[in-house]
């Protein structure tokens, strides 16, 4: 991301001349987060921004409710998701009772648990589902407080609440279901990364994470038309066919991503992946950057990766190999060089 910012600021390159090309849409989340955190406007072509995806918004609503049970908007979104049989009539009765008593919706649910006939019109089955829901939230609050890392609790909660099972019932297309479940994993990865990089000596809280989410979910300013017209382009390699950009970044140069894990046992399919990389590489007019990660997070846990076989097929004379450590070292050297210039007045 520092390279991209440098291209925009130092090289005066328009954002629309820069593209990040992905093998699959699964890869976009960390890039969206970094671009937003650095106030670099971007456009996700042909897809929803990570925070606009239903399963992500649903899980964030759960996180908000666990942190603050007076958050009525979040509760209303997920009270009957996954489906619990708590329909509009029951929700209306709960809402009416909360208005009468001047309390939150969750307080009314808690009262129903203490006294099942608190709202006589609710069926026994609904009362039982409300009890299970409140019990789940209360247990999870304690788990978040006690867990050495918050993402441990979030990972367990995702399994327990059953959203992934609900997604499988909703989606006929297995690929779509897998992608939606993967987004939940990415939310765990995001929390893991947040905890790992929290810049306070104190253990981060759920409220700290929610504040981070709030910053990342803020809308772009609609008045800044120049920025919106010149956003970094985020798109899949397939979507990039026929397009060209001054600078192209291709992340995920790892076995399992490019080439994709589905084709590793079929040589003909690997050839197709090779052609796909060729498409990505030839989208760049001036600057091409192929990147890969030494480790990736899956549900918050780091796993080692293997470099893509395709990197070994590229003539090394045509490439500059740079590691993260070298980038950081160069940035440090540049910083002190600039500092020395300021001291000498040159």
Total domain count, the chain = 2
CATH number for the domain that contains residue 322: 3.40.50.300
Residues 269 and 201 in one domain: no
- Asked whether residue 220 is domain-assigned, the answer is no
- What confidence tens digit (pLDDT) does each residue in 172-199 have? 998 889 989 999 999 999 999 999 988 8
Residues 286 and 205 in one domain: no
Listed residues 182, 214, 246: the one ending a domain: 214
Question: In this predicted model, which residue has the larger pLDDT, 261 or 249?
Answer: 249
- What confidence tens digit (pLDDT) does each residue in 293-330 have? 888 887 777 888 888 989 888 888 887 877 666 545 55
Contacts 24+ apart (CB under 8 A), 43-46: 43/231, 43/232, 43/233, 43/234, 44/234, 44/235, 45/233, 45/234, 45/235, 45/239, 46/235, 46/236, 46/239
Give CA–CA dist 113/120, Å, rounded.
13
Give CA–CA dist 88/123, Å, rounded.
13
Question: In this predicted model, which residue has the larger pLDDT, 330 or 22?
Answer: 22
- Asked whether residue 304 is domain-assigned, the answer is yes
Residues 37 and 57 in one domain: no
- Asked whether residue 58 is domain-assigned, the answer is yes
Residues 191 and 337 in one domain: no
Q: Is the dihedral of CA 189, 191, 194, 196 positive or negative?
A: negative
Residues 160 and 243 in one domain: no
pLDDT at 13 over 80: no
Q: What is the extent of the structural domain holding 314?
A: 1-48+230-344
Give the chain's mean pLDDT: 85
How does DSSP assign 45-93, residue by residue? TTS--GGGSHHHHHHHHHHHHHH-TT-HHHHHHHTTSS--S--HHHHHH
Contacts 24+ apart (CB under 8 A), 149-156: 149/192, 149/195, 149/300, 150/191, 150/195, 150/204, 150/206, 150/209, 151/188, 151/189, 151/191, 151/192, 151/195, 151/299, 151/300, 152/300, 154/63, 154/187, 154/188, 154/191, 154/300, 155/188, 155/299, 155/300
Question: In this predicted model, which residue has the larger pLDDT, 141 or 259?
Answer: 141
In this structure, what are the phi and psi dihedrals at residue 333, rounded to the nearest 5 degrees? -60, -40
Give CA–CA dist 149/193, Å, rounded.
11
- Asked whether residue 139 is domain-assigned, the answer is yes
Listed residues 214, 249, 268: the one ending a domain: 214
Mean pLDDT across 261-270:
73
| 264 pLDDT tier (thresholds 50, 70, 90) | low
| 230 pLDDT tier (thresholds 50, 70, 90) | confident
Residues 42 and 107 in one domain: no
Whether 277 contacts 310, CB under 8 Å: yes
Residues 81 and 210 in one domain: yes
Residues 111 and 234 in one domain: no
User: Would you state the torsion angle of the CA atoms of residues 232, 237, 243, 244, taken in this order, to the nearest 10 degrees?
Assistant: 60
pLDDT at 98 over 70: yes
| 4 pLDDT tier (thresholds 50, 70, 90) | low
- Asked whether residue 221 is domain-assigned, the answer is no
Question: Looking at residue 15, what is its pLDDT?
Answer: 76
pTM of the shown model: 0.73
Residues 167 and 93 in one domain: yes
Residues 35 and 125 in one domain: no
- Asked whether residue 282 is domain-assigned, the answer is yes
Count of residues making up the chain: 346
Residues 268 and 151 in one domain: no
Q: How, if at all, do strands 18-22 and 245-250 pair?
A: parallel
246: number of Cβ within 10 Å: 16
Question: Looking at residue 268, what is its pLDDT?
Answer: 66
- Asked whether residue 222 is domain-assigned, the answer is no
- Asked whether residue 224 is domain-assigned, the answer is no
Listed residues 188, 214, 240: the one ending a domain: 214
Residues 72 and 207 in one domain: yes
CATH number for the domain that contains residue 116: 1.10.486.10
């Amino acid at each position: 991301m520092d390279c991209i910012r440098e291209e925009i600021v130092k090289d005066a390159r328009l954002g629309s001349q820069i593209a990040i090309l992905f093998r699959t849409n699964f890869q976009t989340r960390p890039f969206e987060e970094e671009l937003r955190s650095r106030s670099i406007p971007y456009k996700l072509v042909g897809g929803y921004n990570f925070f606009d995806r239903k399963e992500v918004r649903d899980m964030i609503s759960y996180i908000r409710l666990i942190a603050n049970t007076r958050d009525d908007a979040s509760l209303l979104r997920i009270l009957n998701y996954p489906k619990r049989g708590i329909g509009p009539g029951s929700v209306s009765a709960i809402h009416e009772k909360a208005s009468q008593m001047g309390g939150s919706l969750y307080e009314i649910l808690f009262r129903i648990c203490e006294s099942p006939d608190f709202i006589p019109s609710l069926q026994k089955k609904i009362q039982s589902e409300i009890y299970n829901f409140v019990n789940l939230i209360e247990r999870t609050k304690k788990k978040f407080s006690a867990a050495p890392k918050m993402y441990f609790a979030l990972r367990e909660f995702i399994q327990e609440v059953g959203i992934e099972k609900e997604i499988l019932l909703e989606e006929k297309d297995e690929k779509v279901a897998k992608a939606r479940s993967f987004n939940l994993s990415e939310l765990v990865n995001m929390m893991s990364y947040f905890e790992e990089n929290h810049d306070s000596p104190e253990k981060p809280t759920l409220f700290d994470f929610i504040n981070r989410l709030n910053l990342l979910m803020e809308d772009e300013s609609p008045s800044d038309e120049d920025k919106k017209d010149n956003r970094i382009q985020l798109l899949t390699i397939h979507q990039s066919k026929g397009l060209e950009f001054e600078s192209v970044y291709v992340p995920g140069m790892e076995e399992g991503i490019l080439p994709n894990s589905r084709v590793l046992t079929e040589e003909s399919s690997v050839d197709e992946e090779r052609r796909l990389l060729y498409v990505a590489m030839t989208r760049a007019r001036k600057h091409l950057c192929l990147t890969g990660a030494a480790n990736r997070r899956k549900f918050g846990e780091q796993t080692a990766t293997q470099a893509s076989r395709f990197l070994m097929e590229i003539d090394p004379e045509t490439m500059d190999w740079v590691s993260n450590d070298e980038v950081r070292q160069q940035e440090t050297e540049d910083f002190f060089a600039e500092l020395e210039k300021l001291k000498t007045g040159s």
